Chain A
């Protein structure tokens, strides 16, 4: 481990992105992620990079589309309402098989919602958000250190699979300060990009980045080709953290900052002799479904800062081997360990 520095989550994403070879950042101000833009605009001119404050979220994501089409590592960040605006561009990025990293530091919704931390964009992130048959790779860190590791992974994975990657945080992760070590982050692995629109230099045939296929069978073929790629990602990329699952009567799932609340709750429960275990998805897409088929609790519990959007994925993953319950708060309210403990006790009375 190298030297640790105390850093705000949003700024740590920026530093990790720069260390991962990102030199093109296109942003638009929105709370609670603006510190990332502020960090980038200070750093980029010093390292020959580009920071551009776009006229809108829509323009920012389309600048990313242009930069990604030109073959560079590009990034944009926003928070929930801004991601809705970017969703058009995200659909095109997916359709163009263009690598890039999109950060969503989630706040409460729908509509303008609030500016407090939330996890209510789970459906939007994991189901696509924009139109058409597509997925993003969605990474959900639970600490500033993991935010940094996953930022580096995000660029590498995006290049490797030519799939846009979303880093899904929340207002707490973005705003809180924690010690973080940058020396141990994954090295950039750059992919060859022979498909990029860089100008032919009269040395190769022209490259075209296109997303319109008027022939139905041709479009179907392209979509199914991408689906094969998604199958590979589903097979190879399921990431999670699990513990205390072997003897567990109940397995609690949560991601991001909520998992820190759950850790405290599980400690309390175990101290009281209640057999609680943990599966924490780190990739939300692909969802780590394999592990859910290997465990045999009496019940699952999803703890989220939403109205329970991950419940469906757990149900699908465990194939209803046990009932899936929900405990959470929304609108920017963070659940407490006591609420989780109480919910677990109530559930175990029911499923006994």
Chain B
């Protein structure tokens, strides 16, 4: 008799991803859905999708989804969670959504310790609108709106969300992970799982920042993009756990 050693998570639909080749969204969607399957919470889960490339995540997520206005996902998730406290509510947001137009919603849902899970895709660029400078674009990074490279004198510095939120008392778990190698992807899945488990256990706000690629708008091949993530992004955005209330309490 044959034994199943790998299967597509049932929380993921059969719809083919429309993300660009080499984009990390596909990996992260799969990790999130695997975690939801493993925790057996598909029927209890409500996702809040952002404005950005993941605005059509409901085509791939096989559970209830609410589409939010740009940056407002944590406020929408708050409204859902406060209405249905026994449901599992997560937001899935990009860097423009979470760290620019929605910074207030991010910071305040975190400081309230809102019992939600936030999946944060940081690929240092606005993908859906065609590659403009993001709040997380690196110094010197060339984008459509920083054609001479991000000039920190006039365009400021990147926002390090994990470090910033770690100064707050409200969040229970803050981690930065990456999608560049198999070991890192495994770490990423562990962090995502913990962020969902925390919500199940009523621990409050958990966020996982996932360093991701955008080969199309970076003007790179998928392989070059992964190399940029390793060589340029990880040094600026160090991986690791920035806050874990369990550890503090121990």
A and B are partners in one complex rather than unrelated chains = yes
Verify B79–A206 contact, CB threshold 8 A: no
Binary B-proximity of A236-247 (CB < 8 A = 1, otherwise 0): 000000000000
Cα A321 to Cα B61 with chains together (Å): 57
> Which of A24, A62, A198, A207 has the most B CB atoms < 10 Å from its CB?
A62
On chain A, the residues within 8 Å of B82 by CB distance are 24, 50, 52, 63, 66-67
A55-B105, A212-B55 are contacts. A203–B43 as well, Cβ < 8 Å?
yes
B87's nearest neighbour on chain A, judged by CB, is A199
Instruction: Tell me how far the C-beta of A64 lies from the nearest C-beta in chain B, rounded to whole angstroms.
Output: 6
| A residues 14-43 in Cβ contact with B at 8 Å | 24, 26
Taking Cβ atoms with an 8 Å cutoff, the residues of B that contact A are: 42-46, 48, 51, 55-56, 58, 61-69, 72, 75-84, 87-88, 104-105, 107-108
Given contact pairs A62-B76, A66-B77, a sample of 8 additional A-B residue pairs in the complex whose CB atoms are under 8 Å apart: A50-B83, A65-B76, A66-B66, A69-B79, A201-B44, A207-B64, A210-B65, A212-B67
Verify A89–B69 contact, CB threshold 8 A: yes
Instruction: Choose among A24, A74, A202 the residue that contacts B42 (Cβ–Cβ < 8 A).
Output: A202
Size of the chain A interface, CB-CB below 8 angstroms: 40
Instruction: Tell me how far the C-beta of B39 lies from the nearest C-beta in chain A, rounded to whole angstroms.
Output: 13
On chain B, the residues within 8 Å of A74 by CB distance are 79, 83
B43's nearest neighbour on chain A, judged by CB, is A202
Instruction: Choose among A50, A67, A69, A92 the residue that contacts B69 (Cβ–Cβ < 8 A).
Output: A92
Instruction: Tell me how far the C-beta of B11 lies from the nearest C-beta in chain A, rounded to whole angstroms.
Output: 10
On chain A, the residues within 8 Å of B88 by CB distance are 199
Does A58 interact with chain B (Cβ within 8 Å)? yes
Cα A113 to Cα B202 with chains together (Å): 44
Verify B76–A66 contact, CB threshold 8 A: yes
Does A200 interact with chain B (Cβ within 8 Å)? yes
Verify A210–B83 contact, CB threshold 8 A: no
On chain A, the residues within 8 Å of B79 by CB distance are 24, 26, 62-70, 74
**Could you pull out 14 A-B pairs where Cβ atoms are within 8 angstroms?**
A50-B82, A58-B75, A58-B105, A60-B75, A62-B76, A63-B79, A66-B75, A66-B78, A69-B76, A70-B46, A71-B83, A208-B64, A209-B67, A211-B67
Does A59 interact with chain B (Cβ within 8 Å)? yes
Does A84 interact with chain B (Cβ within 8 Å)? no
On chain B, the residues within 8 Å of A26 by CB distance are 79
Verify B72–A206 contact, CB threshold 8 A: no
Does A146 interact with chain B (Cβ within 8 Å)? no
Cα A96 to Cα B107 with chains together (Å): 26
